[in-house]
């Protein structure tokens, strides 16, 4: 079989990004670049179709075994393609025909998606590193795309410096793992670890390397205590860009973390489990407590994303296929509701983010019933109210933890969900309250076709995940079945006491 079929979505996105750049160079400077955005949308739809088509391919590797196509990688390919499609539609609504360097922005969306997809299908750590850099460089540039704004370049610089520092941790971790196992392929690493454990000769380099890899990926998913970049970058970057960077790279990084923990180091779970346990607790607690103090919606959602990273990490501690499936399902639910709420923030505040305070959204439902109702729907989903994707996402995550004996961690998660309700409801109360004469929202521009498409996709996904989650959950379980080492253990009541 042609090996190119195993990276077909990446090829589509790469060719599409090149076409956008070439077309941008050939267009007259005063002309509108919005048609290039629609070209990028068509490319993302083609990538989504190619990802869905990959389900019929037999599972296997390509290009000397560095890329693997299976239910796991295809699941995340489809999710990333959907995120990029919705983010491009939001961008098309937010920008104006005169916004500078639009062609470059649309191309960066596509090139960033190439790195994210490669991260989810790579089974060779050096390829993971290359894919991570492709994704990161694109998002670094997009974070500072509003060149005439003071906050945007500042956020890009902070993102770049801290991101480079975390990447160094990740790369050095790979080097140490290679020194201990003589390989950077996930399958070979697992075999070497198995032999070392059987002979009771596990090298200390392996433990240090694994810890450094977790640190590098912890930054990418904005898990505490590696979260310090998140509020400033979310606040300074354009809202359409935040819709992508808060979901796409995070989803890809979680896919890598799942592959590494359950694919390469399943026999060392006794060592990485305590790390992820404490990361989950710290992320949920610091994220939710930090969000309580915020007056800016974007900074509040930044701390919220830290907390949601903690919820996904709870699923890792289940040490089972159920946990892998719960983490994958929650990634879909979080992506749908987070992209959706940033679509509304982007439209109301504009590309320049003129309105980002909670009080700025007071009376939104009276000014624009469609946008206000949609924002309220996404907020209750983020809380975890029944009949929304957020509810079933948390339900599956906490159920997986409880079934594995992590009852205390599940209780901590539930308490944090209660804390989160305070700041989400504070925004909802502002949205549904009657506007005052001094309200900054006097008139909201009617939603355009692109925004309506983005809202339809995100609302429909969040609703379907809340009332008929069976299809997505089945796909998540198929993805989890890729890892036979992730067996479903019997409940272990003493598991958490051992961690402490």
Domains of the chain by residue range: 3-499
pTM of the full structure:
0.93
Q: What is the spatial distance between Cα 237 and Cα 341, in angstroms, rounded to a whole number?
A: 16
| Phi-psi group of 435: left, alpha or beta (phi > 0 → left; psi -120 to 50 → alpha; rest → beta) | beta
DSSP string for 482-493? T-TT---PPP-T
Output the CA torsion sign for 381, 384, 385, 391: positive
* The 3-state secondary structure of 393-429, one letter per residue: HHHHHHHHHHHCCCHHHHHHHHHHHHHHHHHHHHHHH
Band of the pLDDT at 482, cuts 50, 70, 90? Answer: confident
Of 416, 220, 470, the closest CA to residue 304 belongs to 416
If you average pLDDT over residues 48-63, what whole number do you get? 92
Quick one: pLDDT at residue 495?
A: 46
Alpha helices in 221-363 (DSSP H): 230-236, 239-245, 248-258, 269-292, 297-316, 321-349
The answer to whether residue 296 scores a pLDDT higher than 80 is yes
The string of pLDDT tens digits covering residues 176-197 is: 999 999 999 999 999 999 998 8
The string of pLDDT tens digits covering residues 124-149 is: 999 999 999 999 999 999 988 877 77
Q: In this structure, how many other beta carbons lie within 10 angstroms of the beta carbon of residue 148?
A: 8
The answer to whether residue 300 scores a pLDDT higher than 90 is yes
The string of pLDDT tens digits covering residues 344-369 is: 999 888 777 777 788 888 888 888 89
Whether residue 84 contacts residue 337, with contact meaning beta carbons closer than 8 Å, is answered with: no
**Could you give the 3-state DSSP secondary structure of residue 185?**
strand
The string of pLDDT tens digits covering residues 409-461 is: 999 999 999 999 999 999 999 999 887 666 666 567 788 899 999 999 999 99
Q: Mean of the per-residue pLDDT values for the chain? A: 89
The answer to whether residue 98 scores a pLDDT higher than 80 is no
Quick one: pLDDT at residue 492?
A: 42
Q: What is the DSSP letter of 440?
A: S
Burial of 30 (0-12, 13-18, 19+ CB in 10 A): exposed
Of 421, 440, 420, the closest CA to residue 364 belongs to 440
Quick one: pLDDT at residue 494?
A: 41
Q: What is the spatial distance between Cα 481 and Cα 483, in angstroms, rounded to a whole number?
A: 5
Quick one: pLDDT at residue 489?
A: 43
Least confident range from 9-23, 160-174, 354-368, 375-389: namely: 354-368
Is the pLDDT higher at 438 or at 464? Answer: 464
Two tokens at 282? 């710290």
At residue 185, what are phi and psi to the nearest 5 degrees? -90, 135
Sequence-ordered list of residues with C-beta below 8 angstroms from that of 238, at least 6 positions apart, any chain: 94, 142, 145, 146, 152, 346, 351, 353
The answer to whether residue 45 scores a pLDDT higher than 70 is yes
The string of pLDDT tens digits covering residues 327-342 is: 999 999 999 999 999 9
Quick one: pLDDT at residue 437?
A: 64
Whether residue 172 contacts residue 153, with contact meaning beta carbons closer than 8 Å, is answered with: no
End-to-end CA distance of the chain, in Å?
Answer: 50
The answer to whether residue 488 scores a pLDDT higher than 50 is no
If you average pLDDT over residues 259-273, what whole number do you get? 89
The answer to whether residue 31 scores a pLDDT higher than 60 is yes
Two tokens at 66? 């560095």
Quick one: pLDDT at residue 442?
A: 57
Quick one: pLDDT at residue 109?
A: 95
Two tokens at 275? 């790390």
The answer to whether residue 493 scores a pLDDT higher than 50 is no
How much of the chain exceeds pLDDT 90, in percent? 66
**Could you give the 3-state DSSP secondary structure of residue 293?**
coil
The answer to whether residue 463 scores a pLDDT higher than 60 is yes
**Could you give the 3-state DSSP secondary structure of residue 357?**
strand
């Amino acid at each position: 079989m042609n090996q190119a079929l195993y990276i077909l979505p990446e090829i589509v996105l790469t060719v599409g990004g090149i076409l956008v750049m070439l077309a941008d160079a050939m267009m007259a400077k005063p002309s509108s670049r919005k048609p290039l955005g629609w070209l990028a949308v068509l490319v993302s739809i083609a990538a989504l179709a190619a990802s869905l088509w990959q389900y019929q391919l037999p599972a296997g590797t390509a290009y000397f075994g560095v890329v693997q196509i299976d239910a796991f990688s295809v699941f995340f390919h489809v999710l990333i393609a959907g995120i990029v499609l919705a983010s491009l539609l939001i961008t098309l609504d937010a920008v104006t025909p005169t916004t500078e360097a639009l062609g470059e922005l649309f191309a960066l969306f596509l090139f960033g998606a190439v790195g994210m997809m490669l991260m989810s299908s790579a089974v060779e750590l050096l390829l993971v590193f290359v894919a991570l850099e492709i994704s990161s460089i694109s998002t670094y540039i997009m974070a500072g795309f509003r060149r005439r704004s003071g906050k945007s370049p500042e956020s890009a610089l902070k993102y770049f410096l801290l991101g480079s520092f975390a990447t160094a941790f990740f790369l050095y971790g790979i080097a140490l793992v290679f020194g201990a196992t003589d390989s950077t392929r996930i399958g070979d690493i697992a075999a070497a670890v198995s032999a070392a454990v059987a002979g009771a000769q596990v090298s200390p380099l392996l433990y240090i390397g694994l810890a450094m890899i977790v640190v590098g990926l912890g930054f990418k998913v904005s898990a505490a205590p590696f979260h310090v970049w998140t509020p400033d970058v979310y606040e300074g970057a354009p809202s359409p860009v935040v819709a992508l960077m808060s979901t796409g790279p995070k989803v890809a990084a979680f896919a890598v973390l799942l592959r590494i923990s359950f694919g390469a180091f399943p026999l060392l779970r006794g060592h990485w489990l305590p790390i992820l346990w404490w990361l989950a607790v710290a992320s949920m607690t610091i994220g939710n407590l930090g969000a309580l103090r915020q007056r800016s919606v974007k900074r509040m959602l930044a701390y919220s994303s830290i907390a949601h990273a903690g919820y996904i990490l709870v699923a890792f501690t289940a040490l089972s296929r159920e946990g892998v499936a719960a983490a994958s399902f929650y990634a879909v639910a979080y992506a749908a509701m987070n992209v959706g709420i940033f679509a509304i923030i982007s439209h109301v505040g504009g590309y320049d983010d003129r309105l980002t305070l909670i009080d700025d959204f007071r009376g939104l439902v009276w000014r624009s019933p469609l946008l206000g109702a949609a924002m309220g729907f996404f907020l209750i989903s983020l809380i975890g109210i029944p009949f929304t994707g957020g509810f079933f996402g948390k339900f599956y995550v906490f159920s997986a933890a409880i079934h594995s004996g992590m009852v205390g961690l599940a209780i901590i998660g539930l308490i944090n969900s209660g804390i989160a309700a305070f700041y989400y409801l504070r925004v909802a109360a502002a949205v549904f309250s009657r506007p005052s004469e001094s309200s900054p929202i006097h008139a909201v521009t009617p939603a355009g076709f692109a925004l309506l498409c983005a809202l339809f996709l995100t609302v429909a996904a969040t609703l379907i995940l809340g009332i008929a989650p069976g299809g997505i959950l089945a796909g998540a379980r198929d993805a989890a079945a890729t890892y036979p080492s992730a067996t479903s253990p019997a409940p272990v009541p003493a598991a958490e006491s051992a961690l402490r």
